[in-house]
Amino acid sequence: MTASARRAVIFDFGGVLVNSEIIALAELRGCLSEFGIVRSWSEVVSGFLGVSFEDIGVFVSRETGSDPGKRFRETWYARLFERFARELKVMPSAIELLDQLDAREVDYCIASGGSYRRLNYALDVTGLAERFADRKFSADAVARGKPAPEDGFAILKVGPELTFVLREMLYGLDLIASELLPEYGDRPLMRTMEALMLDRPQDWARHYDGDEAGKRLLRHFSLSDRIRYYWTVPEARAAVDRLVAVLRGKHVPLPLLWQYLPGAAHFADSPLDPEEVLIWRVGQSLSTYHRACRA
């Protein structure tokens, strides 16, 4: 797909462009404790990741039997902004990606479920404010945010599904390359991702429970897609680049696509462009969100 065919790239903010998710949840947990609401880390993650402040406020009011309103917000923001000033960072390769989009004249923006106040502070701290000065959108801008969006992609969060299907396709291509090209090896991409996640467990360990076999399965195939935080690591990028390079221009037999990527059977028996396959699959998922936004 050419740059001109893509109208815009819409980024979620926390966990995509900056490492704010874990910081925000940690300070939310501390703030809840100040108000007498004690929750474990796993309860905070499962209950509040991606949840709007308004819904958090409803929860606090229900738990405390009062309406702390502005006082709760100011307490949380004071804690949060102090941590942001010390620890908030741009995600690895995010600047490089934005530069590439600029070079290709592809428009982009941020769509965040957080407030403009929080978003603007984070952009200032990370040095991204000028780049997104006139292309940032917050749930503050609409009367109805997710999960029932008033204004399409500006509110509807698509990231986790898109990274899930990206992994699905990369792993399918990894299997195909292993079968088609003996010199490629036995699933080197998946082996690389497993090694990375074991070596750097901080982005998945708090989210997955069970025995070792169960956690291994979740690392690679969970709907709570934590592997997305590893694709920008240099070793992962090198493994993906190698996969794309070895398959580019190869003719993949139809039965092999039926076996590992049945939905992509129309790519059989012609010179393969792996990047085109990946873009096609992500586009399929996006079409579902397009329909939801028009409903």
Note the pLDDT tens digit of each residue in 11-20. Answer: 888 878 898 8
Residue 199 C-beta-side C-alpha neighbours within 13 Å: 10
Residue 241 clears pLDDT 50, i.e. is over it: yes
Q: Which residues of 142-173 are buried (b: 16+ CB within 10 A; e: fewer)?
A: eeebbeebebebbbbbbbbbbbbbbbbbbbbb
- 41-45, 76-80, 107-111, 275-279: segment of lowest average pLDDT: 41-45
Measure the CA–CA gap between 50 and 167, rounded to whole angstroms: 21
Cβ atoms of 25 and 50 within 8 Å: the answer is no
Q: What global pTM score does this model have?
A: 0.57
For the stretch 77-117, pLDDT in tens is: 999 999 999 999 998 788 988 998 888 888 899 888 788 89
**Domains plus CATH for the chain?**
3-14+108-154 (no CATH), 20-87 (1.10.150), 159-294 (1.10.400.20)
- Predicted local distance difference test score (pLDDT) of residue 244: 96
Separation in Å, CA 17 to CA 20, 52, 242 = 9, 19, 25
Q: Is it the case that residue 61 has pLDDT exceeding 50?
A: yes
